Amino acid sequence: MLASAHPDPAHHTRGKQVNYRQLAGIRRRARRTRPQSPPIPHKANESSPDGTEPSAVLPAQPANSATLDWPAAYAKRPSFWVPYNTAIQAVGAPVEVDFRNRPLAFRFVTPFLSVCIHGLWLICVPQFPEFLTHILYNHHDHVTAGRRGQKKTFLSFLSLSKLYYWPSMRTYTNAYVESCTQCRAFKSLNQMPACLLQQLIILSRRWCHISLDFITDLSRTKTGHDSILVLVDSLSKMAHFVPAKKTFTAADTVNVLADRLIRYHGLPEALISDRNPRFQSDLWQQLRTRAKIKRALSSSYHPQSDGQTERVNRTLEQMLRTYIESDEREWERLLPALELAYNTTSHSSTELSPFEVMIGENPLTAADLDVVGALSPTLTPPMTRLFRQLCDRA
């Protein structure tokens, strides 16, 4: 019988356990294993002074300090070449050298070049890999160093930054610690994994998506107000600054919203606020349920969630600081004018002022009083067409 050119692989496996994955060409996925620590090198037949085998072997350091030629490295390194050649002229005596645009005292005591910084004499380390690795190995990888993190490796003044100096010391130290494979493999993260941030939805209607926040602890005015309630529309960026009190309850806040928000702009569809107790009471829940208002609370300890109102708060506080003179209690008197100033200023995202988004033009301000009647109304193109249609119908 002639043998076939392509014999059946299963023919040779009769009577044996068949590996069908191999026959089908399916490769087994390699198991994920934790990286094993590299074997600790040690000398053969090494024993302790008393003749017994050592119970633990310390990691071998990359280079012995005695084998490093410090003077030759100073002479080759441009950063320490001038201080080294100046200091060797008077061994052991401090000499002043202009180093990195400032005068510093250097001295050479065989085999180290030292520099005096803040009253401490620090050993200058040439920026060669064998020298830097030797220093950082003893302060991070060695068993007596404990493989500490970046801050403790660099800021442990008794071990590193009070003994040595080289330019860009922090950058090199951080890079060295970050590249430690043992720390990556066996150290746990102290923070929860961060999730992706989701942008707030901006609806197509004005004053249907509103953020609100309180500015508190202001000087108490004659009317008893010591806070400001800030209301911001997410689409038009228009804001209302309402005098308030820090002792406002949820009912007081609802009354202010009805008087300054709902009366002029109608019911909103969504409200964004922080986790203030005023916005989490039963009354607020009932209002939200009856009016079908969606509520979005910012994350705890993350004010960026309500970043739009926080940014308006900062702008308002800056304007108040620039206009309040002697009496800090006059901030309430300035609120109407500052609200007008804010709403007539172009916004960076829309390139229009809030008034232009709302009504198509800016109202008259003090800057326009001298030219009233000399200039035509500055309506936006859509509002210009609407204005002409209204004039034709009138």
Contact predicate 376/369, CB 8 Å: no
Question: Could you give the number of structural domains in the chain?
Answer: 2
Enumerate residues 6+ apart whose C-beta is below 8 A from 346.
352, 353, 356
- Are 214 and 354 in the same domain? yes
Contact predicate 238/357, CB 8 Å: yes
Enumerate residues 6+ apart whose C-beta is below 8 A from 286.
none
CATH number of the domain enclosing 325: 3.30.420.10
Q: How far apart are CA 182 and CA 36, in angstroms?
A: 9
pLDDT digits (tens, 9 = 90+) for 169-207: 888 888 888 888 877 777 666 666 666 656 656 567 889
- Give a yes or no: residue 256 inside a domain: yes
Residue 117 identity (one-letter amino acid): I
- Are 176 and 275 in the same domain? no
Q: How far apart are CA 185 and CA 200, in angstroms?
A: 38
Q: How far apart are CA 290 and CA 286, in angstroms?
A: 6
Enumerate residues 6+ apart whose C-beta is below 8 A from 159.
139, 145
pLDDT at residue 108 in the model? 94
* 242 CA to centre of own chain: 32
pLDDT at residue 113 in the model? 93
Mean pLDDT for back-to-back runs of 10 residues, the chain (394 residues): 46 49 50 44 36 36 70 88 91 91 92 90 89 82 70 56 83 82 73 61 79 90 93 92 91 88 89 75 72 68 60 88 84 91 85 88 72 53 68 64
pLDDT at residue 84 in the model? 92
Full domain range(s) for residue 286: 209-360
pLDDT at residue 284 in the model? 72
- Are 242 and 158 in the same domain? no
- Give a yes or no: residue 198 inside a domain: no
- Give a yes or no: residue 33 inside a domain: no
Q: How far apart are CA 67 and CA 341, in angstroms?
A: 72
* 284 CA to centre of own chain: 34
Q: Which of 146, 74, 145, 144 is nearest to 114 (CA)?
A: 74
Enumerate residues 6+ apart whose C-beta is below 8 A from 172.
127, 132, 136, 166
- Are 305 and 167 in the same domain? no
- Are 155 and 249 in the same domain? no
pLDDT at residue 100 in the model? 87
- Are 173 and 222 in the same domain? no
pLDDT at residue 159 in the model? 60
pLDDT at residue 26 in the model? 47
- Give a yes or no: residue 29 inside a domain: no
User: How would you classify the pairing of strands 270-273 and 294-297?
Assistant: parallel
- Are 172 and 218 in the same domain? no
- Report the predicted TM-score, pTM, of the whole model to 2 decimal places: 0.48
Q: How far apart are CA 221 and CA 269, in angstroms?
A: 34
pLDDT at residue 178 in the model? 81
User: How would you classify the pairing of strands 227-233 and 209-215?
Assistant: antiparallel
Q: How far apart are CA 123 and CA 159, in angstroms?
A: 12
Evaluated on CA atoms 249, 254, 256, 261, the torsion sign reads: positive
- Are 154 and 214 in the same domain? no
CATH number of the domain enclosing 156: 1.10.340.70
Beta bridge partners of 98: 103
- Are 161 and 224 in the same domain? no
- Give a yes or no: residue 213 inside a domain: yes
Residue 123 host element (H or E):
strand 120-124
- Are 356 and 217 in the same domain? yes
Can you count the helices (H) and strands (E) in the chain? 14, 10
pLDDT digits (tens, 9 = 90+) for 279-315: 777 767 777 777 778 776 655 555 445 567 788 988 8
Enumerate residues 6+ apart whose C-beta is below 8 A from 258.
none
Q: How far apart are CA 280 and CA 285, in angstroms?
A: 7
- Are 327 and 219 in the same domain? yes
- Are 228 and 154 in the same domain? no
- Give a yes or no: residue 234 inside a domain: yes
- Give a yes or no: residue 100 inside a domain: yes
